[in-house]
């Protein structure tokens, strides 16, 4: 199973854990990392993901997230096709530039799932799936908790 996690997922353990949703997403992320370590999941990184992680304020948080990225076994290099698909996703689905580029990178990396904690992206998942399929890609967008519940059968509250 191939996953692309956007920056919001990698940063979730550092957000305010007093919120039930945030705590659940952070827990799901940690469990996903466990599945990566056992070989059940392959994590993908991208040039944009590395760039965004490098821009994280606070060196401790930035270095911890960089540590998570070391679990990625494949890297999607920037190329024209990614940019073209990102532009289509921006126009058709209203995704922001970086968000569209993340999704496009996931598509080109042949990820089965794109995980995000960003509701603005998740609200557009049907459109993204449609545009991606028209371009020959199959991708499902989910929140980390939804992913755990739907694919690995683990419930979070």
CA–CA distance, 87 with 59 (Å, rounded to integer): 32
If one counts every other C-beta atom within 10 angstroms of the C-beta of residue 36, the result is: 19
What is the pLDDT, as a whole number, of residue 110?
97
**How many Å separate Cα 141 from the centre of its chain?**
8
Q: At the fourth CATH level, which superfamily is domain 2-151?
A: 5'-nuclease (3.40.50.1010)
Distance CA 116, CA 60 (A): 22
The per-residue pLDDT string of the chain (157 residues; one tens digit each, 9 = 90 and over) reads 999 999 999 999 999 999 999 999 999 999 999 999 999 999 999 999 999 999 999 999 999 999 999 999 999 998 899 999 999 999 999 999 999 999 999 999 999 999 999 999 999 999 999 999 999 999 999 999 999 998 877 655 4
Q: Are 93 and 132 in contact (CB under 8 A)?
A: no
pLDDT score for 78: 87
pLDDT of residue 135: 96
pTM over 0.85: yes
């Amino acid at each position: 199973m191939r996953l692309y996690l956007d920056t919001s997922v990698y940063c979730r353990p550092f957000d305010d854990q007093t919120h039930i949703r945030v705590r659940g997403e952070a827990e799901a992320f940690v469990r996903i990392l466990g599945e990566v370590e056992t070989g059940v999941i392959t994590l993908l990184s991208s040039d944009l993901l590395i760039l965004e992680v490098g821009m994280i304020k606070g060196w401790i948080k930035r270095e911890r997230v960089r540590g998570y990225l070391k679990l990625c076994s494949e890297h999607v290099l920037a190329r024209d096709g990614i940019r073209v698909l990102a532009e289509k996703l921006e126009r058709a689905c209203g995704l922001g530039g970086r968000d569209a580029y993340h999704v496009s990178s996931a598509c080109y990396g042949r990820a089965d799932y794109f995980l995000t904690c960003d509701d603005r992206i998740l609200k557009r998942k049907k459109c993204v799936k449609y545009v991606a399929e028209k371009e020959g890609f199959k991708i499902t967008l989910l929140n980390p908790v939804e992913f755990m519940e739907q694919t690995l059968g683990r419930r979070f509250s």
